A and B are shown apart, each in its own frame.
Chain A
Amino acid sequence: MAYLYPMKKVFFSLVCLLCTQIAFAQKDSLQIDEGNNYIYYRVVDKPSLSADTLYKRGWDFAVAFNPSAKPAKGKAESTLNTSGKFIVYSGVSLMRKEGGEINYTINIQTKDQRYRYRISNFVFKPYQRDRYGNMVPIPGIEVPLEKMSTKYGKKDTDNYLDQVASFCINTAAKIKQAMDKQPLVKKTDPIKKVSTENW
């Protein structure tokens, strides 16, 4: 009976680990805007920096983030837009493959000592396997993220929403880095060297 106590601890730890994983549904980071569309929206205070400075940093971010698309000035003052796409995957582990691509728009607006950004206009373009074994877009099929649940099952929808949210979280970190003007620091793991002198 003595081994039951440590086993209980192990069992409890496993349950906690699973619960933590479930709680990390990243799609919860997405919000719904006034038009009932998915959006990732943040307002950030940046004391002591002017609107122009922040705008220039935002522009530099947009150019570096998506080199294939030139950013455009928005209609409102100190606003810029850029757009792009990323691949989302279906299945897990061994059966994971490209399920489609998500098109998006990033809008950044600056004021003195403050900026805000929104990542929105998510549109899913599903992929299918072509005759050569490649996953390619199905021509003419586009599904706004808000309507995914009407076209796909809950499991697929949640999976894609999680990936969109994950993209937004990563992009938000890059926007923050660019607006803070932090140099890109390459993470380098220290090289573990073995001593061959003492043996």
Chain B
Amino acid sequence: MNLNISLSEFVEFMAALSLFFAILQTASHRLDFAIKTYTAQSIALSITMFLSVFYYFDYELILSAVLTLLIKGILIPFVMKKITDKIVEDENVKPFVNFTYSVLICIFIVIFSFYITSNTFYCSTDNGTMQKVLAIGLSIIFVGIFLMLARKKALIQIIGFLTLENGIILGATSTVKGLPLIVEIGVFFDVFVGAIMAGILIFHIKDTLESIDTSKLSDLKE
């Protein structure tokens, strides 16, 4: 076994680890646990990107990896932590889909993602690593969407969005070796600002509703 193959296996392993944290997210109920899981997932993503540098020999990815680590691994969790410290959590917010079914649904999501990427993106030169990582990225995207739909707590919905975004970045790393730098910085900036703004909105929700249960936001309808 030469070095190249073991490296590719390691890339796959780290990508799979971030998928694992994404699925673990669906089983999380408490906010601080959700934030910790998100941090772990972002770090795994950052390591995947860093290892991909040696796999693809594209050195712009180093900067992306560092940015991911700084913004998603440190800055966003820090801000989220600040927000959760200030709001008292109400434990009895039941999710729309309970935790057991959530994990089951995640299994189907993963199978589905591998299925739809199996034909389109085959690339014979790299032992299918790219394809596998893309499938994992797509699974993370769908798990993120699922989190946004199936959870009532506003903060977990934000984390669902951030998870989805991590999936997109992973997909981008595997297929196109990362986006051009200006665009990537723009994306990071938007996500960071978006997370903070959604966080501030949670304060407003808490002020007006005295809860962060988004299913209570139901005044506007016909």
Note whether A and B form a binding pair.
Answer: no
Binding site for A on B (CB under 8 A): none
